[in-house]
Amino acid sequence: MTLLPTSNLAKLTASAAAIALLSACSGGTTAPETFDRDDFISTGTVTEIERGINVDGPISIQLEDDASFDLEDVDLDLIFDEFGKLIDASGEATLSGELTDTLTVNSIVKTEVGLRSGAQINSDPDFGIELVSDRQYLVFYLGGDANLQIENRATPGTFEEITLSSPLDSRAFIVVDPRDPMHYRFGSTALVGAYGWGESTSGLLPFSPRLGFSELDSFYGHTLDNGAMGIGFKVFDFFEIQGTRVIKDPQFGDINWDDPFASEIEARAGINGGLNFAFGVLGIGVFSFDLVDASGTIDLGFDRQQAAFALRIDPDTTWVPDWFHFVPETEATGQLFVNGDTNFSLDLTSRFKSRIPEADVAGTLAVNNQYATLTGTTSHAGQTLEASITFENETTTGRVSFPEEFMDEIQAQVRAEIDDMLSGAESKVAAMQQAKTDYEFEASLRGLRPQLPVIADSVTAYLEALPNAVELQAEQTTRDYINTACVQNGLVRPCLRNVLGERARKSIIASAGNNAREEVEEAIETPIEVMAELKKQALEGDDDALRGALKDALQAAYDQRNLKKEVSIEHDFGFPFGVRTIYTSTVERKILNDAQQKTILDARDYIDYIPAASSAYIRAQDLIDAIPADEVLQSVKDQIDESMDAIPEVGGVGYIAEGSTYRAFLTIGGTDYDVGFNVLDPLALKQGIAELIVVQMADAIE
């Protein structure tokens, strides 16, 4: 045998990268150093080249304990650094015979061979695996099909034969670490298609979770799978990995992946890749996930049987059951646990959008074998509420809580509203008491006439604003209907939000608003005309004929004191929805308030008897007698002050949503109230609670 020549090695440039092999194996020992020039022996032709040599013929790499790694026919360039350490190898090699202690090449295969560090392999997506970053590996790219014989380490003396071919879009290759020994093969086989599989005698196959999670840690394993693989966790409808699986098991035992927790061995598996899985929860529905980014470990053994996964899901609304009112708006991250008793728990954190009622909730959806619950917070204008949402039998039940300072703000709002009420009462009393000095009120036509144009203008402005308000209400109601309406059609349950395109949705909403607006505009035409006539007559001069016309206008205005209009909008959505009523409402308004009605009636009643120049007066002693005494008003204020010291307790806030139906409820001072406002909106909730407390306190004082 001929040692490779050492001449010219001193001329190697100091800039050549030295690769030191410092990784610790799973047993805690230090990995072997980089190959030296003295490790290579050849009886073939050895030729000096720049920074190294070329070997043509057989070559033997000397290993520990007098072992060697032999290749019978190579044309190989070996490059060394100035210290004689191997830094590169490239060329061609013919594989035939034993390659490692468990891998034999039965055919003769031409290959391209190169030296790669683990770091180079780890950074190259064409490999798709992780090896020890500062360890050296020989990579053989196969020039044709290779017939391989693999010995089963679990049952020595038994073998499996496969033919390894290049996949359609890549090349078949074999990675070898002679000093481990370790091999990894990737290619297509007749039964499984493109797949990678490897084994390490010394347990030097690293696993590092790609996603961070406290339950996951790094370790070194003995076998490696790379490709599509199923795991038979019984609790799931399916559970499939597209990625890598590293198994730590010095005994190289057989794991039953159809039911891994039934395997009677001690082992650990680490997984990185895309995860597809689905499961159903009784009374809740099916959760289905597609290519979730996942890292996980599976512990098998008599003391601990558990799988733990870290998950990251791109923004996707399809993995929750169809009937859920909540869907994720952002990326979801979380954890999945499964144990040997087929119990599981899934926690996913995201920002979820509620459709009924409308809200954004930042929180965590927790799902296990029995229930699904969303807990989180919803915020608006600097106000934050905590919400706990449960899902069962197509019914969403929410409970809302708020911080202590939220109640302090409600109490301040209650105080302000009561102060406004008292201030208004005091102002009215003061005005009446001021009139008490001359308690005769002018009720002549001259006194009433200037008020009539003001009333007419006020009523007209109010009426003219109605169509726009009804149009907006109809559009919002139609939008809510489209977002929630579904129909059972055989085994499927299509929903309008999934059937209608954006253009059709906008067209239907706009049409409903326009139709509602037109109906209300028609309803207010007569009242507006009456008010215009009233204003016109009030501005005319005064004589018997004109007073008669004004009296008729006053009577007509009084007859229009109330407005009531039924508005109903239908739309034909086609099969399977058909014609649906998408908006119905009764527009019922008091056009003239009580004071305006009284003014108009007074003018009508006195117009025949009081000429314009009259200075007659109507005594109002009855009104004066009705003014509350000062001591009564003070008593009310004292009672309110006492009530503020013991403001009623808010015992519960929540809602129930089922289909398109929403019902919210409050418990204040032991009394339950159904409310129509959005209890997931902090501002609406605060205003609603304050108003109910004011009503309750007023009732108590009466």
| pLDDT, tens digit (0-9, with 9 covering 90-100), for 472-489 | 877 888 887 788 877 767
In a domain, 540, yes or no: yes
Assign residue 91 a region: left if phi > 0, alpha if psi is -120 to 50, beta otherwise?
left
In a domain, 213, yes or no: no
Q: How confident is the model at residue 74 (pLDDT cuts 50, 70, 90)?
A: very high
In a domain, 206, yes or no: no
What is the helix (H) or strand (E) element at residue 373, kind and residue range? strand 372-380
**What spatial distance separates the first Cα and last Cα of the chain, rounded to whole Å?**
115
Cα–Cα distance for residue pair 413/401, rounded to 1 Å: 18
- The average pLDDT across 78-88 equals 95
Q: Which two tokens stand for residue 610?
A: 């009081």
Residue keyed to tokens 């509620």: 354
Q: 463, 629, 600, 453: which is closest to 532 by C-alpha?
A: 453
A 10 A CB-CB count for 130 gives 21
Domain extent at residue 153: 2-187
636 in the same domain as 613? no
- The average pLDDT across 262-270 equals 93
Domain end, chosen from 311, 346, 381, is at 346
pLDDT in tens, 506-527: 888 888 888 878 887 887 888 7
Q: How confident is the model at residue 6 (pLDDT cuts 50, 70, 90)?
A: very low
A 10 A CB-CB count for 409 gives 15
466 in the same domain as 395? no
In this structure, are residues 93 and 71 in contact, taking their beta carbons and an 8 Å threshold?
yes
3-state secondary structure of 551: helix
pLDDT in tens, 441-472: 343 455 566 777 777 787 788 778 778 877 78
In angstroms, the Cα distances linking 367 to 79, 277, 338, 353 are 57, 14, 12, 18
383 in the same domain as 431? yes
Q: What DSSP line would sit under 133-145, residue for residue?
A: TTSEEEEEEESS-
Q: How confident is the model at residue 389 (pLDDT cuts 50, 70, 90)?
A: very high
In a domain, 160, yes or no: yes
In a domain, 625, yes or no: no
Q: How confident is the model at residue 642 (pLDDT cuts 50, 70, 90)?
A: low
What pLDDT is stored for residue 52 in this prediction? 94
Q: Which two tokens stand for residue 173?
A: 């290759």
DSSP state of 644: H
- The average pLDDT across 87-109 equals 96
In a domain, 192, yes or no: no
Q: How confident is the model at residue 613 (pLDDT cuts 50, 70, 90)?
A: very low
In angstroms, the Cα distances linking 399 to 376, 387, 651, 653, 656 are 11, 6, 11, 6, 9
568 in the same domain as 487? yes
pLDDT in tens, 126-155: 999 999 999 999 999 999 999 999 999 988
600 in the same domain as 471? yes
pLDDT at 406 over 70: yes
More confident residue, 627 or 36: 36
223 in the same domain as 159? no
- How many separate domains does the chain show? 4
In a domain, 214, yes or no: no
In this structure, are residues 486 and 660 in contact, taking their beta carbons and an 8 Å threshold?
no
pLDDT at 26 over 50: no
Q: 306, 491, 414: which is closest to 700 by C-alpha?
A: 414
More confident residue, 604 or 221: 221
Assign residue 252 a region: left if phi > 0, alpha if psi is -120 to 50, beta otherwise?
left
615 in the same domain as 512? yes
Cα–Cα distance for residue pair 180/186, rounded to 1 Å: 19
Q: How confident is the model at residue 694 (pLDDT cuts 50, 70, 90)?
A: confident
511 in the same domain as 473? yes
What pLDDT is stored for residue 624 in this prediction? 44
427 in the same domain as 507? no
pLDDT at 338 over 90: yes
160: Cβ contacts below 8 Å, ≥ 6 apart: 149, 150, 152
What pLDDT is stored for residue 202 in this prediction? 95
460 in the same domain as 384? no
122 in the same domain as 68? yes
Query: For 180, what's the count of Cα atoms within 13 Å in the CB-facing half-sphere?
Result: 34
pLDDT in tens, 174-206: 999 999 999 999 999 988 889 999 999 999 999
Q: 284, 283, 248: which is closest to 266 by C-alpha?
A: 248
507: Cβ contacts below 8 Å, ≥ 6 apart: none
Q: How confident is the model at residue 608 (pLDDT cuts 50, 70, 90)?
A: low
Least confident residue range of 8-12, 332-336, 566-570: 8-12
Cα–Cα distance for residue pair 193/196, rounded to 1 Å: 10
pTM of the entire predicted model: 0.65
Q: 684, 687, 682: which is closest to 402 by C-alpha?
A: 682
What pLDDT is stored for residue 2 in this prediction? 37
- Which residues are bridge partners to 48 per DSSP? 53
Average pLDDT, the chain: 82
Q: What DSSP line would sit under 193-215, residue for residue?
A: EEEEEEEETT--EEE--SS--TT
Q: Which two tokens stand for residue 24?
A: 């610790």
274 in the same domain as 223? yes
In a domain, 204, yes or no: no
What pLDDT is stored for residue 535 in this prediction? 77
pLDDT at 27 over 60: no
